[in-house]
Homo-oligomer: A and B are copies of this chain.
């Protein structure tokens, strides 16, 4: 299958924080943002694979900055690497103060999707071709993250995770 550029899957979405998206402090609830990130990254994975995709896992989402009612949230999703039937997608979230129009980076998340056929069975996807520096760094890191997730799931022995081992035991 022919590789596709990472940039071809880029998906941008802008969302307005409405009252029902907020908690009692008037800030965006985490669960709503997780939902928006899932839809945005699913569209990116669908663009890369031209298939129906289903969420396989979510990793390393951190919420560093409260987002207020009325703020505009921008989500940028891009496939970082593909592994046979699965795709890792990075979502960069920024929020825009509508008066100053200052843009603050407030989240970064990684979702993994599997492409499926009409019966729901996994199906192969094209490899990803990273071009920019950031795309290359994320492409390289994807293997390390995959090993870590296989270890945590008990499907890989720590001793065989060569990429990760180096991290903890360098010489």
Contact = CB atoms under 8 A, between A and B. Distances in A.
Interface in A36-80: 36-40, 42-43, 46-47, 50-52, 54-63, 66, 69-70, 72
A165 interface: yes
A104 interface: no
B72 A54 contact: no
Contacts of A25: 52, 54, 116, 118, 120
A3 interface: no
B56 A63 contact: yes
Contacts of A29: 38-39, 42, 55
Interface in A1-48: 11-16, 18-20, 22-25, 27, 29-32, 34-40, 42-43, 46-47
Interface of A: 11-16, 18-20, 22-25, 27, 29-32, 34-40, 42-43, 46-47, 50-52, 54-63, 66, 69-70, 72, 96, 98-101, 109, 111, 116, 118, 120, 149, 152-153, 158-159, 161, 164-165, 167-170
